[in-house]
Amino acid sequence: MQARLVSVALPVPLLTPFTYRVPPSVPWPERGARVLVPLGRRRMIGVVVGPATAAPAELEAKDVLDVLDPVPLVSGTLVDLAAWLAAYYLAAPGEALRLVFPPSGVKASRTMVRLADVAGGSSDEGDPLLAALRPGPLPLSTLARRLGSDPASRVLRLRESGRVVIEQRIEAGGFREVRHALLADPAAQGRGRAQVAVLERLREAGGRLAVPELVRERASWRGALDRLVERGAVRINRERERRRPDVLPGGTSEALCLSGEQARVAEALTTRLERGSFEACLLHGVTGSGKTEIYFRLAERALERGRGALVLVPEIALTPFLVRAATARFGATVAVLHSDLSEGERHDEWWRIRDGAARVVIGARSAVFAPVAPLGLLVVDEEHEAAYKQEDSPRYHARDVAVMRGKLEGALVVLGSATPSVESYANALAGKYAHFELHERVLDRALPRVEIVDRREVLRAGGDPILTPPLVEALGARLGRGEQALLLLNRRGYATSLLCRECGMQASCPNCSVSLTVHRAGATTECHYCGFESRSPTTCPSCHGAYLKLTGHGTEKVLEAVHAVFPGARVERVDRDLARRRGALGRTLAAFERGDLDILVGTQMIAKGHDFPRVTLVGVIDADVGLGLPDFRSAERTFQLLTQVAGRAGRGERSGEVILQSHRPDHYALGFACAQDYASFFEREMEFRRTMGYPPASALLNLVLRSTDAEAVLRDARAIAARLRERARGGYRVLGPAFAPLARLRREHRCQVLLKGRRKTMREAVREVLSQRRGGVSWRGITVDVDPVSLM
């Protein structure tokens, strides 16, 4: 009889799936079914990727312990999508598959250590390890953290002497069940004060109440409830409780009217949706041109046709408007998925989608894998946003995954943006994507007037480069008229660096090769990459000089400058520092929206998603932030940010004004952003990408090697680069190795090898070279980034 073998992808960073034998005691698992298998000492929930023809030579396949899904949890399409992702991005198949399963659906067992039940053996003998285990079993990893060292060998010895027991445990991680009290006998009488009160409370609540709620009201009611249950007056039911993410109230359920142009585009897209086959479309429409309404109409049409819809947004926190509007429009059939949800909330939303209770999904990046079936529409709003790129393994780009999913599902994919990525626009021009443009703004609002202020001239004339005279004048005018202003500076903190005037030392991060940013008016210094934080020194740490100087400015400093010039103005700051405090971001934005604030100072967060009708002035403090970064996308990012923020001015009836302060007023990113001329920007940027061989003119694959040993990492990178060069044969070029722009991050030195050329050839070469390295089965210490977005 033919051996029953299956190939199983496991949640470990290994290049290939493993082969297991299916014993007669378990049913044959289909592709996509989850199975419990042993791996080394551990157990894992993995995913069957297909039958295997033979076990790898000399290896006896182990037995599948259990088949968890008689029928796969997710569609074959999603399993195919994960397989494609693993191959395209050179990711571990198990880690790619994990994305399409519910949270904790695919995972490894945890090694738990507990004290052995030894009669009378309750003494710790002064061993801190035994003492730590006294209160209860602990995972081995927690034990290591608590004891500050690797306890493995000690634990092993304690096991041999019979003091502790090691177990492999896989926690369920599932639904939350809440006990509910049900009035079983409507005529029941209480036999005491508490019982009477409980019954009364239950009747008040319509005969059904969650037990925790009841007990919270009065702790003593717990006993009374028990007695009522014993007498059969009340029944206890375990009910699944949905952990529902918070959705802000508001938003309108009514469809908006579309202008002629919008209606034509909506009509054309609807026709394509109704074909029920794959097509990708770029919806290029200026801010405020009504893209959201078009998305919603398409989603409604998809629902009518019995299919679901997926709407991706770059960051949920910055688009509360869209979530609110979708909730109002689609009601209970909306699910919201994003990283701020608790694991429980995510789990429940996942199952609501999987069970078909939710058919319209609004979510960030990872929502592209939501188990909507069948799927008719995928929308990627603000498709140019870098937030769609996952920056750790598997390093996928949600926009590109969405296009592939659309292809596999036979769904319509709509990529929306006011400033499309250079890649998507090129695809549209090449005919790969259908191209739709929306030129008119809703209510026929005029585009704002844009003025560029040369900061160099202001400095030469002895003026303040943060708030230049034209900006001060414009701000003063708004304050006088009761209008609002936004001030953008894409750099948080107070000062960009702390310098010693005597020896020139610059305060830098102990873990990363970057200078520390000064926060809280000079009181603290912080690393924006690893989070290192400390009190600012008062004397120079290297020469003990007493004269320290702050240079460069961030949003905190701008706030201070505004306070100094306009003491009476109501000003607040919005940036990542504020967003860290729960709810603070929403409160500040809401206050600004209500008109309780005059000026909002912030990073790019203020440029996105919101509609502030009273804003008539946008000031960009330093339009060149970002242009200096060693990144081939810096011009594109600057153009997008400036265009976006300029669009915030004059969204009400009054026309708007934009002031861009810059040291490089002649840079094309600024010029074309001012003119709101996307097409010309694209032409100019494409020229640069073509000459330099950057995307979309050529594909990129970046390898980053990491190690605490700087020399070793360079040596290793050299060897890899050499082997890649041998194999290139004109299919790609190899740049480097070189230390990455962020040469050291979190105590690790980083060395990169950048490949430019044909994606497929590069991928194959990298796979081959990496699998031939010593211990070439795992990705340890190396990051493979296919289609990198950032080269930092």
- Please give the span between the terminal C-alpha atoms of the chain, in angstroms, as a whole number: 55
Cβ nearer to DNA, comparing 153 with 691:
153
Is residue 149 close enough to count as binding DNA by CB under 7 A? yes
Nearer to DNA, 133 or 211 (CB): 133
The region that residue 44 occupies, defined by phi over 0 for left and psi between -120 and 50 for alpha, beta otherwise, is beta
Q: Is 539 in the site for DNA (CB under 7 A)?
A: no
Among 65, 108, 477, 743, binds DNA (CB under 7 A): 108
Question: Using the 8-state DSSP alphabet, how is residue 30 labeled?
Answer: P
Q: Which stretch binds DNA (CB under 7 A): 189-197, 223-231, 695-703, 772-780?
A: 772-780
CA dist 494 and 505 (Å) reads: 19
Contact with DNA (CB under 7 A) among 9, 22, 47, 61: 61
Q: Which stretch binds DNA (CB under 7 A): 151-159, 232-240, 523-531, 659-667?
A: 151-159
Select from 261-269, 430-438, 533-541, 775-783 the region that touches DNA (CB under 7 A): 775-783
Among 31, 62, 242, 324, binds DNA (CB under 7 A): 62
Dihedrals phi, psi of 641, to nearest 5 degrees: -65, -45
| Residue 714 near DNA by CB under 7 A | no
Angle of CA points 25, 28, 30, to nearest 5°: 150
Q: Which two tokens stand for residue 756?
A: 């430019």
Q: Is 55 in the site for DNA (CB under 7 A)?
A: yes
One residue of 111, 287, 490, 662 binding DNA per CB under 7 A = 111
Residue 56 binding DNA, by CB under 7 A: yes
Burial (CB count within 10 angstroms: exposed 0-12, middle 13-18, buried 19+), residue 685: buried
Please, are residues 540 and 526 in contact by the beta-carbon 8 Å criterion?
Answer: no
- Paired sense of beta strands 360-363 and 334-337, if any: parallel
Tokens of 768: 């081959």
Closest contact distance (angstroms) between CB of 96 and DNA is: 14
19-27, 208-216, 277-285, 742-750 -> range binding DNA (CB under 7 A): 19-27
CA distance 199 to 255: 46
Of 14, 132, 184, 328, the one binding DNA (CB under 7 A) is: 14
525 binds DNA (CB under 7 A): no
Answer yes or no whether residue 131 interacts with DNA by CB under 7 A.
no
Stretch that binds DNA, among 106-114, 307-315, 435-443, 469-477 (CB under 7 A): 106-114
CB 477 within 8 A of CB 608: no
CA-nearest of 410, 321, 400, 330 to 368 is 400
Site for DNA contains 150 (CB under 7 A): yes
Asked if 775 interacts with DNA (CB under 7 A), we say yes
Q: Which of 69, 104, 110, 654 binds DNA (CB under 7 A)?
A: 110
Phi/psi region, residue 544 (left: phi>0; alpha: psi -120 to 50; beta: rest), is left
Beta-bridged to residue 660, according to DSSP, are 452, 620
Q: Decide: is 686 part of the binding site for DNA (CB under 7 A).
A: no
40, 249, 306, 462: which one contacts DNA (CB under 7 A)? 40
Is residue 57 a contact point for DNA (CB under 7 A)? Answer: no
Candidate residues 9, 18, 290, 660; the one interacting with DNA per rule CB under 7 A: 18
Helix H or strand E segment including 362: strand 360-363
Residue 777 lies near DNA (rule: CB under 7 A): yes
Angle at 468 between CA 462 and CA 470, to 5 degrees: 120
Select from 153-161, 362-370, 466-474, 572-580 the region that touches DNA (CB under 7 A): 153-161
Question: What mask, x for binding DNA by CB under 7 A, covers residues 728 to 767?
Answer: ----------------------------------------
- Provide the minimum distance between the beta carbon of 781 and DNA in the complex, in angstroms, as a whole number: 8
In angstroms, the CA 86 to CA 77 distance is 14
Residue 130 in the binding site for DNA (CB under 7 A): no
DSSP 8-state assignment for residue 515: B
Name the minimum Å distance from CB 465 to DNA. Answer: 46
140 touching DNA, by CB under 7 A: yes
Which one of 150-158, 204-212, 227-235, 751-759 is the stretch in contact with DNA (CB under 7 A)?
Answer: 150-158
Of 553, 556, 557, 550, nearest in space to 507 by CA: 550
Instruction: Report the alpha-carbon angle 528-531-537, nearest 5.
Output: 85
Tokens describing residue 156: 């092993």
Residue 54 binds DNA, judged by CB under 7 A: no
Provide, rounded to whole angstroms, the least separation between the CB of residue 324 and DNA.
38
Q: Which of 142, 524, 634, 778 binds DNA (CB under 7 A)?
A: 778
Exposed/middle/buried for residue 599 (C-beta within 10 Å: 0-12, 13-18, 19+)? buried
User: At CA 140, angle to CA 92 and CA 97, rounded to 5?
Assistant: 20
Residue 755 CB, shortest distance to DNA, in Å, is: 22
- Strand 176-183 to strand 138-139: parallel, antiparallel, or no bridges (unpaired)? unpaired
Residue type, 628: G
**550 lies in the site for DNA, by CB under 7 A:** no
Under the criterion CB under 7 A, does residue 132 sit at the interface with DNA?
A: no
In the bound state with DNA, the residue whose beta carbon lies nearer, of 63 and 274, is 63
Structural element, H or E, at residue 50: strand 42-51
Strands in 371-465 per DSSP E: 375-381, 412-417, 434-438, 449-454
> What's the Cα-to-Cα distance from 339 to each of 76, 336, 367, 579, rounded to whole Å?
25, 10, 10, 14
Q: Does residue 640 touch DNA according to CB under 7 A?
A: no
Residue 742: strand, helix, or coil? strand
CB of 115 to DNA, least distance (A): 18
Does 535 sit near DNA (CB under 7 A)?
A: no
Which residue, 59 or 430, has its beta carbon nearer to DNA? Answer: 59
Among 59, 187, 430, 461, binds DNA (CB under 7 A): 59
Minimum CB separation of residue 64 from DNA in Å reads 9
What's the token pair of residue 418? Answer: 């006011």
Q: Is 39 in the site for DNA (CB under 7 A)?
A: yes
Cα separation of 370 and 363, whole Å? 9
- Binding-site size for DNA (CB under 7 A) equals 38
Whether residue 388 contacts residue 254, with contact meaning beta carbons closer than 8 Å, is answered with no
Nearer to DNA, 136 or 206 (CB): 136
| Residues at the contact surface with DNA, assessed by CB under 7 A | 12-14, 16, 18-21, 37-42, 55-56, 59-62, 108, 110-111, 140-141, 149-150, 152-154, 156-157, 774-775, 777-780
